[in-house]
Amino acid sequence: MTAPPETAVQTVDLHKTYSGPKGDVEAVRGIDLDVRRGEFFGLLGPNGAGKSTTIGMLTTLVRPTSGEARVCGFDVTRDAVEVKRRIGMVSQNNTLDSELTAAENLEFRGRFFGLGARAAKRRADELLELFGLADRRDGNPFELSGGQAKRLMIGRALVHRPEVLFLDEPTAGLDPQNRVNLWDLLRELQKQGQTIVLTTHYMEEAEVLCDRLAVVDHGRVLARGTAAELKDSAGADTVLTVSYDGDVPADLSKLSERAGISKVEVNGGQIRVFSTAPEGLLGELVGAGAAAGVNVTDASQLRPSLETVFLSLTGRDYRD
Amino acid sequence: MTATLPAEPAAGPAVRTTVGRTFLAMMSRELRVLRKNFVSTFVRVLLQPLLFVFVFAYVLPKLGTGAPGAGSAGGGTTFSTILVPGLVGSSIVMQGIMAVVFPLMMELNWQRSITDRALAPLPIPLLAVEKIVASGLQALIAGLLVFPCVLFIHAGGQAPDVHVSNWPLLVFVLVFGSLLSAAGGLLMGTLVDPQKVQMIFGIILMPISMLGCVYYPWAALEHVRWLQIVSLANPMVYVNEGLRAALTPDVGHMHFYVYGTVILVGTVALTWLSARKFTQRVLT
């Protein structure tokens, strides 16, 4: 596999199977990715979709079972050290070194990557200032708030000016204010040309931050593109879901033949209609139920979003 | 937090580093941590041998109680002569194991903070070697600190008869004994379930220490032949016998070919095995 120079990350048919006492678990089942330099790329999917395993393989910490992955042109298995020289990684957990102060965490990261002692100290001070942590420089990293610890971890990942920054669920567990602050920080980094690959299960986060996305579920990429392209590909502006206390009226299955309706899914007493012309449709669904002698027990209307895309791709709610 | 970051070119690594430089930087991190924890670490290391030598080489002789074990080592040998290499050796082995095993259990399990160093530009097996060298250094320091304590604390007429006639042998045993212990500690840390950490103390460290020929030379066990044979499975025996050969050559001890071979081959074998297991734990 040879990647063009503008490609930062490329994977081909990447697989990971974990073997355990209860049998094999296929965490990643053939993922193909292509991230360009300077791009903000997101892997979006629910928990357990295989996002973290994919990031783990790209950052050399998880060994692929098969397939190929290259970061900055280097194979993640054969040239792991070259890959590590070029990447920064922010894990989901707080992996800061509890034996060192906040400043020392940055300083030693710099030294691991070849900076001299003085240069590493200067770089640490510079990053603490940039990330608003100068007053916590001598504190233990486990005494920092969640947002501060995450900022320190991002600072640590940037010490050696990596070509690609990987972030695994960076805002998980943060309060809304810290989440927005972190978004601002990540946007600034991208403006300066930083290539960023992020995993998230927050749809809003993916939509707000990422230039392009891959929607992942059960270890496979279901769709990829910009948020707008993904919404278009779903073929629906709106998803209407109505539940009845009996079977869905038989006539309603014919809705799929109507112009403006791209898909109709019937599952027992629930109908889901994907439509580009939803006006009056909800009333029609309620009326059809009344005519067939069943009552509506629940109804929802989702405006076009990545959630409707996920629904369209998988046929199930995002948080199932 | 600063809203706007100054321009940071994302044009590649700031510095072309080498594996050797990264290795040294990691050692430097270990030394920084060691410096911070020096007093607490080594007070713990010193306390047990200090108390032991105080009771057995000072208090008991003062009370007129015969020191145990000395007679079997040969006429005129004081118990403190037996104890010096034994306590130095046991301190080295215990510290070598503990310096790596407990931090490693935290790093591999709690939050998996090992990820931090696993992402440094160094092959993972070399990260294991770095851990062995750093813990070996702590073991060596422990041995060097314990040595004067056990040398100078004794009752009148109970002075240990210590003289180094072969310095290279002493350096060999100190250095490789330290590395052997650290490699063994790394292997334990990667194999033992962290929830069973107490087991390491009770089932592994305690028997190693009590039956490691600390308080008697291995040759004296000829009276308990089965124990003499079983003791051969204990790596501490070879470190203590090596130190006996280097520090108290007049006391009966194993031949160099035996303890030297076991220490050297054991260090290489345990380093290989523990680096392999460590890599398997770090890379999933």
Structurally, chain B folds into a number of domains equal to 1
Instruction: Evaluate whether ipTM surpasses 0.90.
Output: no
SS (H, E, C) chain B: CCCCCCCCCCCCCCCCCCHHHHHHHHHHHHHHHHHHCHHHHHHHHHHHHHHHHHHHHHHHHHHCCCCCCHHHHCCCCCHHHHHHHHHHHHHHHHHHHHHHHHHHHHHHHCCCCHHHHHCCCCCHHHHHHHHHHHHHHHHHHHHHHHHHHHHHCCCCCCCCCCCCCCHHHHHHHHHHHHHHHHHHHHHHHHHCCHHHHHHHHHHHHHHHHHCCCCCCCHHHHHHCHHHHHHHHHCHHHHHHHHHHHHHCCCCCCCCHHHHHHHHHHHHHHHHHHHHHHHHHHHCC
Q: Spell out which residues of chain B touch residue A160, defining contact as CB-CB under 8 Å.
A: 13-15
Q: Is residue B4 part of a domain?
A: no
* A270-275 vs A220-225, strand pairing mode: unpaired
How would you list the strands of the sheet with A66-71, edge to edge? A23-36, A7-20, A66-71, A74-75
Say whether B11 and A163 touch across the interface (CB within 8 A).
yes
What is the chain B residue with the closest CA to A108?
B29
Closest by Cβ to B119, choosing from A89, A100, A114: A89
Could you give the CA distance from residue A219 to residue A25 in angstroms, rounded to a whole number?
10
User: Predicted confidence band at B273 (pLDDT cuts at 50, 70, 90)?
Assistant: very high
Q: Is residue B242 part of a domain?
A: yes
Per-residue pLDDT of chain A (320 residues; tens, 9 = 90+): 665 668 889 999 999 999 888 888 889 999 999 999 999 999 988 888 888 999 999 999 999 999 999 999 899 999 999 999 999 999 888 889 888 999 999 999 999 998 889 999 999 998 998 888 888 889 888 888 888 898 899 899 989 889 999 999 888 877 888 788 888 888 888 888 899 999 988 888 888 888 999 988 888 888 888 888 877 776 666 778 888 888 888 777 777 777 778 778 888 888 888 887 778 888 888 888 888 888 888 888 777 677 777 776 776 665 54
The whole domain housing B53 covers: 19-64+72-282
Q: Is residue B5 part of a domain?
A: no
Q: Is residue B240 part of a domain?
A: yes
Res B75: pLDDT: 55
What is the set of domains in chain A, with CATH numbers?
7-231 (3.40.50.300), 236-303 (3.30.70.270)
Q: Is residue B236 part of a domain?
A: yes
What distance lies between CA B13 and its chain's CA centroid?
38
Q: Tokens 């939509």 map to which residue?
A: A207
Question: B186 to chain A, minimum CA–CA distance in Å?
Answer: 19
Q: Is residue B250 part of a domain?
A: yes
Res A234: pLDDT: 64
Q: Is residue B2 part of a domain?
A: no
Nearest to A87 by CA among A108, A113, A107, A62: A113
Say whether A131 and B33 touch across the interface (CB within 8 A).
no
Q: Spell out which residues of chain B touch residue A25, defining contact as CB-CB under 8 Å.
A: none
Q: Is residue B6 part of a domain?
A: no
**Do residues B273 and B187 make contact, with C-beta atoms less than 8 angstroms apart?**
yes
The answer to whether B39 faces chain A, any CB pair under 8 Å, is no
Residues β-bridged to residue A40? A196
Say whether A104 and B32 touch across the interface (CB within 8 A).
yes
pLDDT digit string, tens, across residues B79-109? 778 888 898 998 899 889 988 988 888 888 7
